[in-house]
Structure 1
Amino acid sequence: MAFKFLHNNFNVLDLEKSLKFYEDALGLKEVRRKVAGDGSFILVYLGDGQTPHQLELTWLRDRKEPYNLGENEFHLAFEAEDYSAAHKKHQEMGCIVYENPAMGIYFIADPDNYWLEIIPKH
């Protein structure tokens, strides 16, 4: 029996704001979308155009309060082809929430405060 990674899921409050953030900050594009017949939810799958892994954004119509992310001790990691340019872009966007120069990494936060690790290309 074999398994493979398909996607990770983040629930979001403002789908359009999140889609714009992920495209602007990380170049992720919508791959597919599923809309509930009754309009109660929308699932949007984002891809990087390079790997098969996707990020599923889930929007729930009746959700109004921010999601409780606990201590936010989880994240997705992205490798930046040009780490310096990525850092500059994210600095200009104001989304850097933590930097660790000794490790050569930093984290950005999306509109719902999910953390995304940015690492240089190895």
Structure 2
Amino acid sequence: MKFCWSTLSVKNMEESLKFYEEIVGLKVDRRFMAGPEVEIVFLGDGETKVELICNKNEKEVSIGKDISWGFEVKSVDEMIRRVKEKGIAIEGGPFQPNPHVKFFYILDPNGLKVQFVENM
């Protein structure tokens, strides 16, 4: 079995795309309308994708507080500087639970925890 993608319902597609392109660094793979009020965007260039769905008839999205997406970065310190320059608050960390990994959390525009991880 192969993991294909993780789906996130978003309130505002343009705001969410800006975050995932500019902050996370994901590129749009596919973007299309799935009906008159539903837009779907797949992001990423590897075999696992992030899928964003925006239904204009839905004004709120529900994100579980214990769910997060993790993305590997070259430097946690550099990523912290970058997100602070964009005015994004650090939600947790940085943490270094062992000598080999360091990470921190921010929230995406929909309230999803996004973790940036440096493997040392």
Q: CA deviation at 1:40?
A: 2.0
Q: Note the residue ranges of structure 2 that are not aligned, 5 or more in a row.
A: none
Residue 37 (structure 2) aligns with: 40
- What's the Cα RMSD here? 1.5
Q: Does 1:78 align with 2:71?
A: yes
Do the aligned residues in 2 keep the contact of 1:83 with 1:121 (CA within 8 Å)?
no
2:113 to 112, 115, 122: 115
Aligned counterparts of 1:102 and 1:95: Cα–Cα separation in 2: 19
Aligned residue number for residue 63 of structure 1: 58
For normalisation by structure 2, the TM-score amounts to 0.87
Unaligned runs of 5+ in 1: none
Distance 1:29 1:80 in 2: 16
Identity value in percent: 28
Give the whole-Å Cα distance in 2 for the aligned partners of 1:45 and 1:18: 12
The CA deviation at 1:100 is 4.1
Give the match's secondary structure for 1:85.
helix
* Residue aligned with 1:52, SS: coil
1:44 to partner: Cα distance:
0.3
Q: CA offset at residue 98 of structure 1?
A: 1.2
Q: Following superposition, which runs of at least 4 residues in structure 1 exceed 3 angstroms of deviation?
A: none
Q: TM-score, normalised by structure 1?
A: 0.85
State how far apart, in whole Å, the 1-side matches of 2:105 and 2:14 are.
22
